[in-house]
Chains A and B, each alone.
Chain A
Amino acid sequence: MFYSLGRYILLLRLSFRRPEKFSVYWAEIMREMVSIGIGSLGIISIISLFIGAATTIQVAFQLNSPLVPLSTAGSIARDSTILEFSPTISALVLAGRIGSSIASQIGTMRVTEQIDALEIMGVNAPGYLISPKIIASMTMVPLLVIISITLGLTGGYIACLVSGDVTPADYLIGVRDGFDGLTVRVALVKAFVFGFIIASICAYQGFYTSGGALEVGQASTRGVVYSCVMILFADLVITRLML
């Protein structure tokens, strides 16, 4: 375990060495941003709408008491979406989508000697392959989480319109009532950290792949599993520290 941790830290250090040519790295960062951001927009939109809707209906069901105002469902759904569902569920889904892609892409490059080819040319392979992915992930995951929060709350509103458990007006009052900007800051910090975890752990797994197609698949699976575990651990730590 300590061997792997040491190798992971050394790989990260190599990844953030001075680039050979900034313009080439910049183009790579932009390409990764499109791949991670635009490429994940569809799945994030779908899960956010459904999770927002389901959360609102469930909260409304649990607060079915004449002593509790219906607008409370909106407040609870809002905070749950902002603090937990949008950043964490999105990150877990993104670990599967972009994490496996990063690990398998780099792993395939390793087993087909493309990484060796980069090193022979004098290119800092970890820097060229990993740093643009980490930067893109740390930039795009928070943006995706903002979109996810918006769509999650929209999903809750749609659920109110369709189910009638809470009136849309009560829901909107609840969403606005007692809003604390800290919750959004916590969500963004989580997203930033989760973005780093997904890209760096999966890139590490891919970079040290050896063998063939089977090992690339195993590296991809390991990357996703370790990322998910670390996301949940980081979620706990950030929540404890910031709230």
Chain B
Amino acid sequence: MIEIKDIHKTFGENEVLKGISANFQPGKNNLIIGGSGSGKTTLLKCIVGLHEPTKGEVIFAGENFTKMNFEQRVPIRTHIGMLFQNSALFDSMTVEENIIFPLNLFTTMSKSEKLDRANFCLKRVNLENTNNLYPAELSGGMKKRVGIARAISMQPKYLFVDEPNSGLDPKTSILIDDLISELTEEYQITTVIVTHDMNSVMGIGEHVLFLHDGQKWWEGSNKEIAHTDNKELNDFVFASKFMRAAKAKL
């Protein structure tokens, strides 16, 4: 479980996060949603330690991550997998090398064991036989799937996903969402997804955190969203005609 307590983050004079607290449970898809500039990516970066919160605490399974130094964080980080918005695959490495990279650094697995693990991860994301391709040779959807394969290569307890559907067609978006959801349930991973894709929210949003103006504005499940009277959330979720029509049918 991940617990965040009163997270504040200020850049110069600009206070981006204004005291956010929440719990993220294992085996659940925890979604952080909000408009552009609401602070959702900053919150994600504070949780994973890419930004240091100005105030507040991030606790991974009872261990205060915020108070740890770089070396103390390494054991927790080896349990973290992250899929970035642009996949962030290492350009100079093949698909297989990308997946094996964390195994090379943090495990004592033999070469064949690492290869087996890479093949397993690639099979899990339906990308067999792409081992020797470079990221530049992959489509956007394939890059995301390789990113997921790399993120799960170390069998993480925590999976962080930043805008998994950006730049993808609707069909591939659903495929990625389903894949993340399946992995979360199968391995009981604590998954935190930052998105503003309403299909993802309605499809896999078991626990949704809505941010507005750097604050937690609403928290609940996708089933509760349709019945909430929170104006900002309604304006955000049901901004499109399609979503308003879908709500009217409920």
Q: Is the CB of B105 within 8 A of A123?
A: yes
A114, B106: Cα distance in complex, Å? 18
Secondary structure at the B interface, as helix, strand, loop or mixed, is mixed
A177 interfacial contact with B, CB 8 Å? no
Q: Is the CB of A120 within 8 A of B77?
A: yes
| Complex interface residues of chain A between 3 and 39 (CB less than 8 A to chain B) | 20-21, 24
A117 interfacial contact with B, CB 8 Å? yes
Q: Is the CB of A121 within 8 A of B77?
A: yes
B90 interfacial contact with A, CB 8 Å? yes
B86 interfacial contact with A, CB 8 Å? yes
Q: Which residues of B contact A40 (CB under 8 A)?
A: none
What range describes how many residues of B lie at the interface? 20 to 34
Kindly provide the distance from the CB of B93 to the nearest chain A CB, expressed in whole angstroms.
10
Q: Is the CB of B77 within 8 A of A112?
A: no
A181 interfacial contact with B, CB 8 Å? no
Kindly provide the distance from the CB of A88 to the nearest chain B CB, expressed in whole angstroms.
31
A120, B82: Cα distance in complex, Å? 7
Residue in B closest to A19 when the chains form the complex, CB atoms: B105
The residues of B with any CB-CB pair to A shorter than 8 Å are: 48-50, 70, 73-75, 77-78, 80, 82, 84-86, 88-91, 101-102, 104-106, 154, 160
24 pairs of residues in contact across A and B, judged by CB atoms under 8 Å: A20-B105, A20-B106, A21-B104, A21-B105, A21-B106, A112-B86, A112-B91, A113-B84, A113-B85, A113-B88, A114-B88, A114-B91, A116-B50, A116-B88, A117-B90, A119-B50, A120-B48, A120-B77, A121-B80, A121-B102, A122-B77, A123-B102, A123-B105, A124-B70
By Cβ-Cβ distance, the 5 closest A-B pairs, closest first, are A122-B77, A113-B88, A117-B88, A122-B74, A120-B82
- Additional A-B contact list (11), CB under 8 Å, known A20-B74, A21-B104, A113-B86: A20-B105, A21-B106, A24-B105, A108-B91, A112-B91, A114-B90, A114-B91, A117-B90, A119-B49, A120-B80, A121-B154
